[in-house]
Copies of this chain bind each other. A is one copy, B any other.
Amino acid sequence: MNDDDFKRRLAELEEDRVHGASELARRCLRIAAASAFNAPAGDTGSLRRLLDGRAAAMAGARPSMAALGNLMARWRAALGKLPEDDLEAARRKAAEAALALVEESRRAVQEIAARTRELVGRDRTIITHSLSSTMLEVFHQLADRGVRAIITESRPLYEGRRLAARLSEWSVPTTFITDAQLGHFMQQADFAIVGADSMLPDGSVVNKAGTYLLALAANDQGVPFYVCCESFKRGTAEPKLEEMDAAELGAPGWPHVTVANLYFDVTPARLVSGWISEEGGPDPVFPPPDG
């Protein structure tokens, strides 16, 4: 992957409005692996510098998604251990390190979905918001357990429609609603469950705008609100909440009117009933009181 190819992939990553943090993190790792195999470099030192630069660029591409930064940081640590005297071995090891992280991410999602399946049990209704690869796996694993879904269209780009199509393929009885209806439909739900783009140190959740409203409605009606989130989505600082192109709302322009298109909101930890990660859960409190 030469520099032009990489820049194109990086731009796609920055502009992606449809995929969640887990999926985009894995895409970064696959770009990292491809770069390791064939990026132009004459020795291990220059390969390491080039890969390190690409990793840094990808880590910063989506500031609302801690997983990218965390997984890239782990890959960059692996780059420090490449053999100095064998460029081909260095390429292979760097690529293997990236693909091992892809596999770790996949296993984490599978493990989270399995825990969630046990928690939910049979013949229950889950309400969720937006689309995440983790929630897709949760529904997939629950499809033969009589699960029902209530899902939002998720404006502005309607990624909820992609979730609806998948649930339909799996014959999951699904109610598809506008984002604004989720308060009313909470009364039909046994669980509110979402993925997350990042978890903040204080346990609050960064996810698609509207997640905070889902959590408020769940708390107001006594419906447990769970977050399914891999451990490597834990962020170390308040992320920048990404603002996207206002044109996505499809509204005409008006003088004196600013169209805002903030993709994420922050759900406070006090509204979260439990965390489900590949390490365990649901944990009733995050971080733990002594954390």
Contact = CB atoms under 8 A, between A and B. Distances in A.
Contact of A180 (B167, B208, B255): B208
Interface in A170-225: 171-185, 208-210, 212-213, 216-217, 220
Number of copies: 2
Nearest to A155: B178
A177 B260 CA distance: 5
Interface stretch (A88-96, A246-254, A280-288): A246-254
Interface residues of A, number: 50
30 contacts: A152-B180, A154-B180, A155-B179, A164-B251, A164-B254, A164-B257, A165-B254, A168-B257, A173-B258, A174-B254, A174-B258, A175-B258, A180-B180, A180-B208, A180-B210, A180-B213, A180-B265, A181-B209, A181-B210, A181-B260, A183-B209, A183-B213, A183-B216, A184-B212, A184-B262, A184-B265, A185-B260, A213-B216, A213-B217, A216-B216
Given A174-B256, A176-B257, A178-B261, 8 more contacts: A155-B180, A171-B256, A177-B261, A178-B249, A180-B180, A213-B213, A216-B217, A216-B220
